[in-house]
Amino acid sequence: MNTENIKESLHQYCVTYVNERLQRIQNTIANIQESLTSETKSTAGDKHETGRAMLQLEREKAGKQLAEVQKLQQIINKIEIATSSDRIRLGSLVKTSNGNYFISISVGQIIIENVTYFAIAANTPIGTLLLGKSVGDTINFNGNEITIQKIH
């Protein structure tokens, strides 16, 4: 598989990850909304109000998660995998002496054709160190010296 296909696969994995997470959160919000509207006033008024308050808190939490996922979607939409650069940027596929990194969103380990890649966000500690670097540059991360070997 060539580099462009690998980048496309990594990007698609990230898109799928975000879409699945978005779907789970939307389902949670729909279930909470359904619970809120179907709950009828019982004779145990305090218990009813406590239940509604808990559902409201859950809805707020899900709303915050929804906002986070929407930010991830915006980042994913900014990634240009077709263009390459001699400096590491959003969308770069980076081969280092310590592993392979796809600068995108934090998804973690992705294995494509028995090769391990780490999808990391640009604002993670290692992502911040890598941004703007070129082939041959070194960074120090967790006491390890890491050399940048290739940028795609």
Per-residue pLDDT of the chain (152 residues; tens, 9 = 90+): 898 999 999 999 999 999 999 999 999 999 998 888 876 555 455 666 788 889 889 999 999 999 999 999 999 999 998 888 899 999 999 999 999 999 999 999 999 999 999 999 999 999 999 999 999 999 999 999 999 999 99
Residue 67 is assigned to a structural domain of this protein:
yes
Cβ-contact 51, 42 below 8 angstroms: no
Residues 70 and 99 in one domain: no
Q: What is the pTM of this model?
A: 0.87
Residue 87 is assigned to a structural domain of this protein:
no
Q: Which residues pair with 151 in a beta bridge?
A: 94
- Residue 57: what are its φ and ψ, rounded to 5°? -65, -40
- Identify the pLDDT of residue 39: 63
Residues 47 and 98 in one domain: no
- Identify the pLDDT of residue 83: 83
d(CA 57, CA 7): 39
Structural domains in the chain (count): 2
Distances (CA, A) of 105 to 88, 90, 100, 112: 14, 9, 14, 17
Cβ-contact 17, 106 below 8 angstroms: no
Domain range spanning residue 8?
3-78
